[in-house]
Chains A and B, each alone.
Chain A
Amino acid sequence: AQSVTQLDSQVPVFEEAPVELRCNYSSSVSVYLFWYVQYPNQGLQLLLKYLSGSTLVKGINGFEAEFNKSQTSFHLRKPSVHISDTAEYFCAVSAYTGRRALTFGSGTRLQVQP
């Protein structure tokens, strides 16, 4: 079984400041890692995913994430945020084998202030 912990439920930040959204996971099997974003009244959109290889993954809208196997973490970062980045961000994992379903964290609400 897998579990995902997003350490911050809300992150307020000023526009053009850097931001880091933290994600830790626990799993008895190898997993793929994902970050999704949800804008108000919309479904989820994939920001980036880590499958294998380089531990630094670049995604859409200037986001990147770093996989750290020893710390079982997959933190999301952006060097300079915009008002339009205000949304809910979800970290998720999916097992290599067996049940294919995504296991999500509880989400982090990023609030970008002018």
Chain B
Amino acid sequence: KAGVTQTPRYLIKTRGQQVTLSCSPISGHRSVSWYQQTPGQGLQFLFEYFSETQRNKGNFPGRFSGRQFSNSRSEMNVSTLELGDSALYLCASSPDSSSYNEQFFGPGTRLTVL
């Protein structure tokens, strides 16, 4: 089975722009979660989608949004980019929304905001 894939792997944007990141989960997985990883704040939960519905949301401003499609692929969007949005964005998938399930992580998209 192919793992979680994220595109693009690297991205450079300037302040004020917007960006869309894509995540394709493992085949058959219906839950997709997004995390932000920075040296200062570590790994922080952004949101989770299951069956095209946002199930949970972390403590991030409304500039961060996401969606999930009927094939379970997910996108996250960040509008009006700030320097502090520079981070590694990780997507993780699991079969369903149960807490005990392992989450399978993709390699991440490294976003640099200039």
Interface size range of chain A in the complex? 20 to 34
* Distance of A62 Cα from B35 Cα, bound (Å): 28
Main secondary structure of the interface of B (DSSP, over half): strand
Number of residue pairs across A and B with beta carbons under 8 Å? Answer: 56
Q: Which residues of A contact B97 (CB under 8 A)?
A: 100
Taking a contact as CB atoms under 8 Å apart, the answer to whether A43 and B33 are in contact is no
Within 8 A of A (CB), among B60-114: 90, 92, 97-100, 102-108
Q: Which residues of A contact B56 (CB under 8 A)?
A: 99-101
Taking a contact as CB atoms under 8 Å apart, the answer to whether A43 and B107 are in contact is yes
Tell me whether B4 is interfacial, beta carbon within 8 Å.
yes
Choose one: B33, B43, B107; the contact of A42 (CB below 8 Å): B107
State the A residues within 8 Å of B (CB).
Answer: 32, 34, 36, 41-46, 49, 51, 90, 92, 94-97, 99-107
**24 residue pairs A–B, Cβ–Cβ below 8 Å:** A34-B102, A36-B105, A42-B107, A43-B105, A43-B106, A44-B105, A46-B103, A46-B104, A49-B102, A92-B43, A94-B99, A96-B99, A99-B56, A100-B48, A100-B97, A101-B45, A101-B48, A102-B33, A102-B35, A102-B43, A102-B45, A104-B42, A104-B43, A106-B42
